[in-house]
Each structure stands twice: as structure tokens, then as C-alpha cells.
Amino acid sequence: MYKQILFSLCAVAFLACNRTKTVSTEKAETGVCPQITNIQARCSTSLDGEWNYIVDIYGAGYLDYRRNPVSVKNSFFRDRGFYGHQKELIEYDFDAAPTLHVPGDWNTQKPELYYYEGTVWYRTLFHQKKKPGCRYFLYFGAVNYEAVVGLNGEVLGKHTGGYTPFNFEVTGKLADEKNSLVVLVDNARRFENVPTVNFDWWNYGGITRSVLLVETPETFIRDYCVQLKKDDPGIISGWIQLDGPDAEQQVCVDIPELEAGVQVRTDANGYARFEFAASPELWSPESPKLYSVAVSSESDRVEDRIGFRSIETRGTQVLLNGKPVILRGVSVHEESPFGAGGRATNKEDAVQTLQWAKDMNCNFVRLAHYPHNETMVRTAEEMGLMVWSEIPVYWTIDWKNPETYANAENQLVENITRDRNRANIVIWSVANETPVEAEGRLEFLSSLMGKARSLDDTRLVSAAMEKKALGGGRMTVNDPELVKIADLISFNQYVGWYDGDADKCDTITWEFDVEKPVFISEFGGGALAGRHGDRTERFTEEYLEYLYQKNVDMLSRIPGFAGCSPWILKDFRSPRRMLPGIQDDYNRKGLVSEKGVKKSAYFVMQDWYSSLKK
């Protein structure tokens, strides 16, 4: 469907970034320009707030009655509105339409949209005083799942993938007075998408993260990488990428607190590598030290807070800053911790969620099953939590479809581009519980791992795999080929829930024929907070507590055990979970309920992690 509208609506739109012959190379087929990193440090105007919306189940805003695409001027991108032009036949009006808050999902803002999946038009109006010599970009933190973006009646392009940022250049497209920004959002699930049609979380639709109008100089610092050099903790190294006509410039990196820095010259592509000697205090969960880092060019300057650390494996150990560390983790979905549910969007959401993890004695969170918002990652970094960062290659992906691969890889690239300067990210994960026997899967996943490493060879790369019974109570990971290329033997196991009862844990011995750290990326079971009974009765707190005790005993016996991230910190919405009176659209595997009540199993983990700290 989008192909149709894009071909007809966007014919002229994809020149978005071509106003000057610059080193900016937009993805021509989508109109999206290369991602601007560290967006919160840029000069920008927030476009968050109340946006008018129109639910468009039949696609009437862009298709005619034969389902042929209408012209842009007859589509809702035009934002013409009946009440201003009552002599014309116009059957929509954004001014008179109700509003949704941006950022936010539509499902939890409007009861009538709770289960809605499909297309919704969003519109906001804004004014911007344009400064001569400046460039302007519209930046979206994330829109689930597809977004076609129009400004002042012109379609700028399309972005696919619900959890990563994207931006369009709008220099020369801003009006002097009022600007109309229209976004057509579609969260319909499709087989070829990433994730595909089947997943165990709520398909929250909408403009789920903040929208900014960003102002930059003509030539600006679009991206950079500043980190400890791999295998040399006495050197800080990285690169800078400029964007604009004045590509060759003097650029500097300066860390005043360390009295260290460097000056280099960018090449004709606006790119320069650098390295310089420095002895930073290293970032760690115990001491999450971040430094103010200034990156400047002749025409631009941007500041960041950056930490320095190393992460590697040696045999069955994970080494943080050269020392063995056990990853005391928990898995987390991006949902608000404050009862109302819906997508988590802000700092308060992040602090509350991560504080539950800290109070459980965690030093690590698995941000499942897709890239979480940047504030979440940065808050975890400030609070001393290492992060497993993941893209939504989940379950039964369309492995042999090249477009599906390109989409997955694009989400990976956008995720790494946004977060490569975050010291707390220690693992890039490319998939979760994918079927080992599926044709094309191994090529798909090994290409993704290769891509992650080509973009960033300083972190670990893995995936959440599955387990396999070998007979006689012996168990192992079921993915020998992927284990060979991953840095960890990381897999989900549900002994005591999907596989037998909790006592089964006592009967199992784990064995692995590769010497790598073993990370249990999920285990757990369901309980409704406040529901009590015998420890053999499912969905009671007693069952869950016992399951955790037995799992903890079992995990402690795993040879090469390097950590775990039980499933999951908080009960989360999922339409797969329909048991009335207990689930009611919630996956109940949280250690904390959706209302913030800690279940007794939470304290099992808290005690165990406390003992592992010593």
C-alpha cells in the first residue's frame, strides 16, 4: 500500500536533502537523511504536544474509491480542511479533529483505539523564525510502525521501523508563517515486517517519541564516535562526520576535565579519524563516571557526556575494564511504570523503571525487544546499568525476503548510530528466539552480526537463542552455528513454566561444547500480584517465588555462567494473554506488577544478586 502512495505522492519529494551539493547522502528511496546524533544537545524546537488526528481505516485520505492513489493535493497531506473552504467538497478537517498527545501511543490515550491497528493521520501547526545560513531538520524519535511525513502539502518521505529515530531536511521548505506538518502513521502488522505479525507485546501505534525541529549551521557535526581505543585503555579514539558544503575543516575533540583533546582536519567527505592519549577514570556500574566532551568544528559545536570502558570476553568470562563481571540483569519492555501503561516516553518513566532494577541489585538491563528511547539508555548509563540493546528480529521473520533483511539491517544501523557513544551498552543483540531450522535464518542473522561488528568492533554481539534437551536431564543451547559467531552463549529457557514445573530444575545439568560465557537471556513464569496459594498452583506469587528459587539454584550450577536477565521486570500489556481475572491483556511474568507492587519473587532475585555482588 505504501509503495502505491509513495510512488504517486512522493515523486518530487526525494530531493529533500539536495539543496546543496553536500556530503549528506540521503537514502534516495525514502527521503530520510542520515541520522543526526546526540539530538538533545542541538539547537531545536520541540513539536511535542497535542496533535490533531484522524483515524483512517479505509485509507480514504490517500486512496480513491477504486483504491487508486489520489494526488497529493487531494490527499490529507494538503491539510485543506472543510471549515475554511465550505464551497468545496472536502470531507476532513484537522482543525476540527480531536487530539492525541505526542509523544505517546494512541492505544492508551483513547479507549476506542485500545485495540486499533491501522492508519492514523496526525497534524500539528508550528511557526519557526528562519535564520539565514541555517539548515532545518524534522527529527522523529520513533513512529510505530511506518510514517509518511508531509510538510506544507509536500510529502518528504517515509520511514519504516517503529523504534529508531529518523530525520528529514526541510531547509527551504519551511513557510514564513504557519507550517502544517502531517504524518500518516500505520501500525498494521505484516508478515514481511520487522517484527513480523506475531509477537508478545502490545503493538502500540503512533508517534511514540518526541518530534523536534532542529536548527544547524550550513555545515554541521552530524555524527561522531568518541571512545576508548580497543585493546589500549591509554588512548581515546574515534571519528567525526561533518554534513554540509564546507567539508574540509579543522575539528577538535576536547575533554576539559582530563586536560586532553585533539585537533584534526576533515577530508573532502567531511570525515576525520583521531586518537589521543588520556587516562580517564573508567565507567562502571559502581562508578558510572561520565565526562563532558566538546566536539567542535569551525562552524559548529556540540557537547556530550561520555564514559569510557572496555568490554570483552576471555574464555567463559565477561570482562569489564579487564575484570570479570557477572551480569546481574533483568529484562525490560518500554512501558510506562506508572499504572496507566502505554509507551514509556520520559525521564521519570526511565528513572522509576531503572530504580526497580537497581533496588534488585542489578548492574545490567536487557532492553527488550527493540531499541528503547534514548532517554532510557542515557538514564541507565547515569545510574550505572550496563545495557543489552536489541532489534525486533523476533520469532518467525520472513528470512528469505531481501527487503525484510534490509529493513532489519537498517534498524540495526539506526540503533547503533544513535547509541554508539553510550558506554553502558555492552551487547548488540540481533534477534530473539528465532527458529533454528528456518531456511535462510542463519545467513540473515550472521549478516546482521557482521554488520554490527563492522560498525562497532568494541562491543559484544549476540542474540537470544533457545535451549535443547540432550536426553537424560542434559540440556544445552540449540543453536550451534550461531553460537560459533556470537560472543556469548545467550539463550532463553523456561524450565518450571513452559517446560515442566519448578522441581524440574533440580534434575537438569547444562553442558556446552564451546568455551564462551553463558548468559541466560530469559527465564521466569507468571503470577498475579496478590494472588496466593500453594507453590504448585500456577499464577500465584508462591509458584513464582518457588520457580525463581529453583532457577537460581540451577543457574548457579551452570558451567561458565556469566549472568542472566529474567523475564521480566514489570507486567506488560500483550494481546496474547487473555486469561480473565488473571491476565486481562497482561503478560504476568513481571517481578513487579503494572501498578508497581513487588511480587515475592522479586526478593529472591534481590537476595541472590546481593550475594553475587560480593
Residues that bind ligand GCB (CB under 6 A): 200, 369, 432-433, 492, 522, 567, 587, 589
Q: How far is the CB of 497 from ligand GCB (least distance, A)?
A: 8
The conformation of residue 149, written as its DSSP 8-state character, comes to: E
202-216 in b/e form (b: 16+ CB < 10 A) is bbbbbbbbbbbbbbb
Q: How far is the CB of 567 from ligand GCB (least distance, A)?
A: 5
Complex with ligand GCB: residue 246 or 522, whichever CB lies closer: 522
Taking a C-beta distance cutoff of 8 angstroms, is the pair 523, 464 a contact?
Answer: no
Q: How far is the CB of 114 from ligand GCB (least distance, A)?
A: 20
What is the rounded CA–CA span in Å between residue 384 and residue 62?
48
Complex with ligand GCB: residue 474 or 576, whichever CB lies closer: 576
> Which residue in 486, 498, 489 sits closest to 453, CA to CA?
486
Number of Cβ atoms within 10 Å of the Cβ of 125: 15
Taking a C-beta distance cutoff of 8 angstroms, is the pair 209, 161 a contact?
Answer: no
Q: How far is the CB of 103 from ligand GCB (least distance, A)?
A: 23
Q: How far is the CB of 200 from ligand GCB (least distance, A)?
A: 4
Complex with ligand GCB: residue 272 or 495, whichever CB lies closer: 495
Name the residue number minimizing CB distance to ligand GCB.
200
Q: How far is the CB of 329 from ligand GCB (least distance, A)?
A: 14
Complex with ligand GCB: residue 33 or 569, whichever CB lies closer: 569
Complex with ligand GCB: residue 9 or 376, whichever CB lies closer: 376
Number of Cβ atoms within 10 Å of the Cβ of 286: 9
Complex with ligand GCB: residue 433 or 487, whichever CB lies closer: 433
Complex with ligand GCB: residue 561 or 586, whichever CB lies closer: 586
What is the rounded CA–CA span in Å between residue 109 and residue 487?
41
What is the rounded CA–CA span in Å between residue 144 and residue 181?
17
Q: How far is the CB of 526 from ligand GCB (least distance, A)?
A: 7
Angle at the Cα of 338 from the Cα atoms of 604 and 111, rounded to 5 degrees: 125
458 HSE (CA, 13 A, CB side): 26
With the CA atoms of 464, 537, 199 and 469 taken in that order, what torsion angle do they form, in degrees rounded to the nearest 10? 40
Q: How far is the CB of 522 from ligand GCB (least distance, A)?
A: 5
- Burial level of 387, CB count in 10 A (0-12/13-18/19+)? buried
> DSSP per residue over 101-141, as a string?
EESS-STTT-GGGTT--SEEEEEEEEE--PPTTEEEEEEES
Complex with ligand GCB: residue 293 or 332, whichever CB lies closer: 332
C-alpha cell at 344: 514509556
What is the rounded CA–CA span in Å between residue 413 and residue 113?
32
Complex with ligand GCB: residue 200 or 223, whichever CB lies closer: 200
Q: How far is the CB of 69 from ligand GCB (least distance, A)?
A: 37
Complex with ligand GCB: residue 316 or 411, whichever CB lies closer: 411
3 state DSSP class of 604: helix
Rg (CA), the chain: 25
Q: How far is the CB of 366 from ligand GCB (least distance, A)?
A: 10
3 state DSSP class of 72: helix
